[in-house]
Amino acid sequence: MLKKLLIFLGVFLALAVYCSAETTEEAFKKVFPNVKYDTIKESPVKGLYEILVGSEIIYFDPATGILILGEMRMNNGKNLTSESLMAVMKERVKNIPYEKGMKIGNGKNIVVEFTDPDCPYCRRAAAFLKTKKDITRYVFLYPLVQLHPDSEKKARFILCAKDKVKAFYDVLDGKYDDKEITVCNDDKVEATLKEYRNVGDKIGVSGSGTPFLIVNGEPVQGANLPLINKYLGEPEEQVPGHNHSKLDTEKTPDKHEDEKAPAKQDSEK
């Protein structure tokens, strides 16, 4: 009798969990019927659910129908939203065709770099990586024209150049800031820039922002120099001129203006 009772209770609890999860999805679809999402799961806060929409995490309270935008942080500065998103990104980047990027160097450490030529944090990360000797970089130019109107033209300038690596360094060093530049009219350049964009979009760079790095298979959001060092197998604290507070290391990357706005109920998400 006890055995049957335990089996009954197990089935009952399993059904209760299933129905609860189903109810959460139904509640979300009822309130936001046009929002396409990837996954819904419980968040660290009881009663609040984490919803992955493309490359963005939002939170939903099924009891009230309230949608919450923003980051969830611990009192010690730990960013739970970023941590969860990076876990998703780590899975997405496993099959990235990194060899399609612009190759710089020939070291054992592999760094894939999505960068906007005019993004200040991209420039900081690029300058930091330039000091590393034992790395191979695969650069994907990913201009965010909503934030930096000249970035796409500079990306074309780099791809048009005979010495693309030199042009890349010159542009990110600021040598062409506030200067008129001419670009070629080459279908191959346009195709390459489009391919870079497609690769970035597939793993969610449009939501995570630039710079977005993959260091030896580990995603890094923003110019988090100590974390880059960690994944390169170097001491995290050896970052010249860097403030090592927990919050300071989580540098906010540049994002599209429309990525900063509240999620809309449309089919493009």
63 and 111 belong to one structural domain: no
**pLDDT at residue 2 in the model:** 35
Tell which of 23, 50, 81 closes a domain.
81
% of the chain exceeding 90 in pLDDT: 55
Mean pLDDT of 136-149: 93
Q: Distances in Å between the alpha carbon of 259 and those of 53, 155, 180, 250, 263?
A: 12, 21, 29, 18, 8
Mean pLDDT of 203-224: 90
122 and 232 belong to one structural domain: yes
pLDDT of 237 higher than 70: no
Mean pLDDT, the chain, rounded, equals 82
- Read off the pLDDT of residues 95-125 as tens digits, 9 standing for 90 and up: 889 999 999 999 999 999 999 999 999 999 9
Token couple for 25 = 């999805």
| b/e 152-171 (16+ beta carbons within 10 angstroms → b) | bbbbbbbbbbeebeebbbbb
Mean pLDDT of 220-245: 78
Q: CB-based burial of residue 226 (10 Å sphere; 0-12 exposed, 13-18 middle, 19+ buried)?
A: middle
Domain that holds residue 145: 92-260
Mean pLDDT of 235-257: 52
Q: Distances in Å between the alpha carbon of 136 and those of 58, 210, 232?
A: 35, 19, 11
d(CA 226, CA 204): 23
- Which bin fits 197, alpha (ψ -120 to 50), beta or left (φ > 0)? alpha
**pLDDT at residue 22 in the model:** 56
Lowest mean pLDDT among 17-21, 69-73, 166-170, 229-233: 17-21
Domain of residue 65, CATH code? 3.10.450.70
Mean pLDDT of 130-154: 93
77 and 127 belong to one structural domain: no
d(CA 98, CA 230): 21
pLDDT of 15 higher than 50: no
Token couple for 19 = 């129905």
pLDDT of 230 higher than 60: yes
Tell which of 56, 81, 106 closes a domain.
81
- Which bin fits 209, alpha (ψ -120 to 50), beta or left (φ > 0)? left
| Within-domain flag for 28 | yes
Lowest mean pLDDT among 72-76, 87-91, 197-201: 87-91
Q: Rounded to two decimals, what is the model's pTM? A: 0.72
Please state the domain count of the chain. Answer: 2
Q: How confident is the model at residue 242 (pLDDT cuts 50, 70, 90)?
A: low
What 3-state DSSP class applies to 91? helix
pLDDT of 243 higher than 80: no
Domain of residue 129, CATH code? 3.40.30.10
106 and 133 belong to one structural domain: yes
42 and 107 belong to one structural domain: no
Tell which of 58, 81, 104 closes a domain.
81
- Read off the pLDDT of residues 24-69 as tens digits, 9 standing for 90 and up: 888 899 889 899 898 999 999 999 999 998 888 999 999 899 999 9
Q: Distances in Å between the alpha carbon of 54 and those of 38, 124, 187, 204?
A: 7, 27, 30, 7
Q: What is the CA angle 240-122-171, rounded to 5?
A: 105
- Residue in 181, 28, 170 with CA at minimum distance from that of residue 39: 28
- The answer to whether the beta carbons of residues 32 and 265 sit under 8 Å apart is yes
- Read off the pLDDT of residues 151-188 as tens digits, 9 standing for 90 and up: 999 999 999 999 999 999 999 999 999 888 889 999 99
| Within-domain flag for 248 | yes
- Which bin fits 146, alpha (ψ -120 to 50), beta or left (φ > 0)? alpha
256 and 180 belong to one structural domain: yes
